[in-house]
Structure 1
Amino acid sequence: MPEYLIIDAAADAYADEIARLTGAPCSGIVCTSGKQAVEKYSGQPVVFGNPDMVASVLAELPNVEWVQSTWAGVTPLTAVPRRDYVLTGIKDVFGPPMSEYVTAYMLAHELKLFERMQHQRAHDWFPKQSGTLFGKHLCVLGTGSIGAYIARVAKAFGMQTTGINRSGTATDAFDQIKPVNEMHDILVDVDYLVATLPATAETNNLVDAKALARLPANACFINVGRSNVVNDDALMQSLRENKLAGAVLDVFDTEPLPKDSPLWETPNLVITAHKAAPSQPSLIAPVFVENYRRYCEKQPLKYVVGFERGY
């Protein structure tokens, strides 16, 4: 069985989890930085790692045949010109944490939790009525495993669910599916718009000023996909002018978000530090272990990424 590199800040934890799953010592070489990976590289054909780190040293790993990402997103690797290897991503593991994150902020919005906390700090009795998710309309941009899981959880709260994808191909996770060219027609009666999309040319600036203008003033936008999907300037303007009730952003063009970014001071905007669904070794390692078995047995790998497609 071929040796492989593990390139990630949490490489030791990944190695421990692989050993636990296989019942044997991990045969991977632990590298907690790209520099360390280059130093330890001796022709290994397999890399399991953080896309940012791997992309930074991929040119110095000439014999690599397969890279397994530890992230759902693989943009750093698809942005690199090299295409002479198989790239696999992560699917079917981020649905639960993503749905918990989205549901938590939808509930916080309905229950006015942030307002109530502000009034509590001011020792101010705040009797304003809460809302409810029941009967509200959730629209999810992206109907893959994450979007579908979010929709199923939303249905448990009695929400109406619409999924938006490229073709309008149906899936039983949603009440209805519409193609992206009909998105603006759907937005007029959406209460929550959630983006789970990857960063591609097709998703770039999808939630722009025109799309935001179609949303009702009571709507809330949540982005747990990639930052290219939304036009930040248009979003900030909508929030400042009270044309949108709220927004939650977990992803940004520059991370950490610069301290002088106007997003920090935008009203009714919640900022989280790209933590909607962290890559936990206990969730990610099983995907690598299964794909590594397939690689060794010369079987098709799961979750192969199309470089041009971007996912």
Structure 2
Amino acid sequence: MSKIITVLSKIPNLKNELGRILPNLKFVQIDNGSARDEDLLLSSEIIVADADLFVPYLYQTKSVKWVQMTWAGLDVIYKHESYKGGDLPYLVTRFSGEHFGRIMSEYVIASIVNHERSMFQVKLNQTKHCWNKSGSIQNYRIISDLTFGILGLGQISSLVAQNLNLLGGNLICLGRSNRNSFPSFINKYYTTENLNEFLSNCDYVINVLPSTKETIGLLNNDVLKHCAKRSAVFINIGRGSIIAENDLINALNNKWISGAILDVFELEPLPKESPLWDMPQVLITPHVSGTSRAKDIAEQFAKNYELYCSESKIPTTVDFSTGY
């Protein structure tokens, strides 16, 4: 008899993709709110779930040993009123790693190229039937001209850095602790004690950090004034809590940074009254730099399932003491 794994998710076609990759397992889609399905969920050994749908059941599961989340970020768990702090009584793994790394690398690279080549101005010129090569439309910088400062050196940020390096970019990185070694595609590694020096050497500051007690407000107040030397551009694909909105706006108004490409915000959706909407040097996207695709989740779950069955450590296991 096939092992039954319950799926509590709104991601289209996820159950079918899981079944396609692991045909010897039986995946059952849970109807959130159904008493019968809820009983099945609570008695499952393995659950694949969206964090927001699963969070009401954090401490109600009877038999669960492993929950594979479909998201990279788990803020919704830490903020939920039922969360008691510390570890949960079962294994929790995030959806992260190479899939998200590739997707978010594409977002970062596309954003940089569009910004450096003024592609939005080019499109505006097209609407006016205007053949214009002025400024950075023709005299643009390319990735190999630039230094990229990556905040964080986890699985996702490492892939972002590696892909930028493949295009010739100079990569520096900031982490919270000293390292004896770091990947060869990182040219220099800084700790948070040297944040100001790190920022002063960046053409782009790219935040890929999760929201933890160490990262919340890391760039608050006037920290970004250290970017003024190179008029850096700030890209945020991590979490909006890295900097208060008012402090970000202040940095833009003071021209400490020359622009911002923002996919995450303190409050989401970004309120209509936020001044960020109307700032010409800001590009806003609605938290889509990395999406959880059914195919990718299924592929990662299959790898994780093999590790789970062999009682090996799963790389994306959540450490609740650090918050990721």
The equivalent residue for 2:13 is 13
Distance 1:101 1:187 in 2: 22
Asked whether the 8 Å contact 1:200–1:309 carries over to 2, the reply is yes
What is the 5 A alignment of 1:182-193?
A: 182-193=194-205
The equivalent residue for 1:103 is 109
Q: 1:250 aligns with which of 243, 249, 263?
A: 263
Q: Does 1:206 align with 2:218?
A: yes
| Deviation for aligned residue 1:173 | 2.8
CA-to-aligned-CA distance 1:127-150 (integer Å, 9 cap, x gap): 323221222110000111221212
2:112 alignment partner AA? M
| Deviation for aligned residue 1:180 | 1.7
Distance 2:293 2:34 in 1: 23
The equivalent residue for 1:27 is 26
The equivalent residue for 1:301 is 314
Distance 2:296 2:76 in 1: 21
Asked whether the 8 Å contact 1:240–1:266 carries over to 2, the reply is no
2:189 alignment partner AA? I
The equivalent residue for 1:240 is 253
CA-to-aligned-CA distance 1:56-81 (integer Å, 9 cap, x gap): 33344343222111111122234422
Distance 1:62 1:99 in 2: 39
The equivalent residue for 1:290 is 303
Give unmatched runs, 5+ long, in structure 1: none
CA-to-aligned-CA distance 1:4-42 (integer Å, 9 cap, x gap): 2211102x6222112211233x51221264667536435
CA distance 1:161–1:7, change in 2 (3 Å): same
CA distance 1:19–1:263, change in 2 (3 Å): same
**Is the partner of 1:41 in helix, strand or coil?**
helix
Q: Does 1:162 align with 2:167?
A: no
2:183 alignment partner AA? T
Q: Does 1:179 align with 2:191?
A: yes
The equivalent residue for 1:128 is 134
Identity of aligned residues (%): 28
**Is the partner of 2:115 in helix, strand or coil?**
helix
| Deviation for aligned residue 1:211 | 2.2
Aligned residue pairs, count: 309
| Deviation for aligned residue 1:177 | 1.2
**Is the partner of 2:58 in helix, strand or coil?**
helix
Q: 1:81 aligns with which of 81, 84, 105?
A: 84
Distance 1:166 1:127 in 2: 43
Distance 1:41 1:146 in 2: 30
| Deviation for aligned residue 1:268 | 1.0
The equivalent residue for 1:148 is 158
Distance 1:4 1:261 in 2: 43
Q: Does 1:54 align with 2:60?
A: no
CA-to-aligned-CA distance 1:107-155 (integer Å, 9 cap, x gap): 1111011222233334444332322122211000011122121222222
Asked whether the 8 Å contact 1:168–1:180 carries over to 2, the reply is no
Give unmatched runs, 5+ long, in structure 2: none
Distance 2:266 2:34 in 1: 25
| Deviation for aligned residue 1:267 | 2.9
When the two chains are superposed, the root-mean-square deviation of aligned CA atoms in Å is 2.2
The equivalent residue for 1:276 is 289
Asked whether the 8 Å contact 1:34–1:57 carries over to 2, the reply is no
